[in-house]
Structure 1
Amino acid sequence: MVFLTTKVMQRTALFVTFGGFVTSLITAFLPLWKTMNSDLNEVENWFSGLWHTCLYTEEVGIQCKAYESIMGLPMDLQISRVLMSVSIGTGGLALLAAFPGLEGVGMCAGQPGPKRLLLILSGVLSWVSGLTTLAPVSLVAYTTIVEFWDEGFPDVMPRWEYGEAMFSGWFGGFALVIGGTLFFVAVCMGDYDQRPLSVPHSLQVKRRTKHYRKTEVL
């Protein structure tokens, strides 16, 4: 297709990566990773995130409190904090590396080699950022399912369920992985555009016949 050029693919990869980075950044600080609602007191809703827990009541509204001790947190939340921090850092570096590698940007102008390496680096960092977003979200989702179906808890005790941040985290992680893949596609398209043009076979035959001398058969 004519409009699907290397430049368009690079911009698309940058746009998808930026969307995944923003979504992952918001997910990391949302207190909506897990929700809990008690049947005994329906006016209270509890929300839990990586950094604080919140209580919502109709009379007071929402009140949030940060966790008092990091060591007192469950292991899945501790691991998720580290991985989400890595995701934010690598996602930001992927965007910074991708911008000077785009076609039409004045930085590294006339140097296709460095631009190509920057796009490859952006793709790798986007993949790392996406995987380090999907991993903690999936880990918290797994532990939530295990605790929800744990038969050791009484039936009357409220249990944590999935929050909206879980789904936004999955969306952001997949967007980052797709964005990194599109960066590699853009690199391959650029390599294909810069390939040396092959000489048509008919021209090769004509050039060869010029070297032959016409002989007469006696």
Structure 2
Amino acid sequence: MASMAVQLLGFFLGLLGFGGTLVATVLPQWRSTAYVGSNIITATAFMKGLWMECVWHSTGIYQCEVYRSLLSLPQDLQAARALMVLSCVTSVLAAVVSAMGMKCTRFARGSLIKSPLALSGGVCFLCAGLLCLVTVSWTTNDVIMDFYNPFLSSGMKYEIGLAVYLGYASACLSLSGGLVLCWSSCGTRSQGPLHVQRSRPPSVPPAFNNVYIPAPPYKPPDALRDNRAPSLSSVSSNGYRLNNYV
């Protein structure tokens, strides 16, 4: 019962990580305008995401434009797109495999593949969390390097957006869920043979000390006996009587 609760905890942590990764992939707040230098007082704010660029006006109006050309994008942005999409796909695969391998589901109940399925789901959650973590760490490094670059003007400098922080939280949730699933699955596999060995009924040794009653001696029936009285004048030789031939 405890391992089932642990598996459910890891599964829901992985699902939360997947939801956060999906939202972070869609949001445009990966890079926001840095208010430094002459940009301290401004009426607009620029934001850049993986799929679009947005402008926020002081009047509360948002204007977003989707990137139209994929090949014209920078290589780091293309790589970030691919990694985040791959992380989402891996999280979906992890959720499906983990759901089939958990003890609370009816799929392959009582089979030996339950534990390996849950373990595979945990490994997939770990991979999804690592992919998301690599992407947000790479973006953070690029933003910090550009911010402290003295050759860039203040209008081209950006700060870390909300989506990056959400990506960090989602990566931590996915990694935690994967670790919990792997730990619960390894614990179940190590305890499995012990339960099987204990559940075997003790074998009864064959009894060799049984005392068998000997069979009674054979006695021919009375009908087969010769009930004729032997005569005194009869002489037998080799089991044959001579008076039968004279």
TM-score grouping bracket, smaller chain normalisation: 0.7 to 0.9
Structure 2, gaps ≥5 residues long: 199-246
Tell me which residue corresponds to 1:103. 103
Higher-RCO chain (CA-CA 8 Å, sequence separation at least 6) = 1
Of the three residues 159, 162, 171, the one matched with 2:160 is 162
Mapping of residues 1-218 of structure 1, within 5 Å: 5-37=2-34, 39=39, 42-59=42-59, 61-111=61-111, 113-154=112-153, 156-196=154-194
**Is the contact between residue 119 and residue 186 of structure 2 (CA under 8 Å) also seen in structure 1?**
no
CA distance in 1: counterparts of 2:59 and 2:122, whole angstroms: 48
Structure 1, gaps ≥5 residues long: 200-218
TM-score by length of 1: 0.83
CA RMSD after TM alignment: 1.8
How many pairs are equivalent? 194
**How far apart are residue 102 of structure 1 and its match?**
1.0
After superposition, give the CA deviation of every residue in 1:10-54 in whole Å (9 maximum; x if it has no partner). Answer: 001101100000000100000010101552651101111000010
Distance 1:31 1:127, change over 3 A: same
CA distance in 2: counterparts of 1:151 and 1:160, whole angstroms: 13
**Is the contact between residue 120 and residue 184 of structure 1 (CA under 8 Å) also seen in structure 2?**
yes
Larger Rg over CA atoms: 2
> Amino acid of the residue matched to residue 9 of structure 1?
V
CA distance in 2: counterparts of 1:157 and 1:30, whole angstroms: 22
**Is the contact between residue 83 and residue 132 of structure 2 (CA under 8 Å) also seen in structure 1?**
yes
**How far apart are residue 105 of structure 1 and its match?**
1.2
CA distance in 1: counterparts of 2:129 and 2:31, whole angstroms: 21
TM-score by length of 2: 0.74
CA distance in 1: counterparts of 2:60 and 2:106, whole angstroms: 54
CA distance in 1: counterparts of 2:68 and 2:14, whole angstroms: 34
CA distance in 2: counterparts of 1:47 and 1:86, whole angstroms: 23
CA distance in 2: counterparts of 1:73 and 1:57, whole angstroms: 25
Secondary structure at 2:50 match in 1 = coil
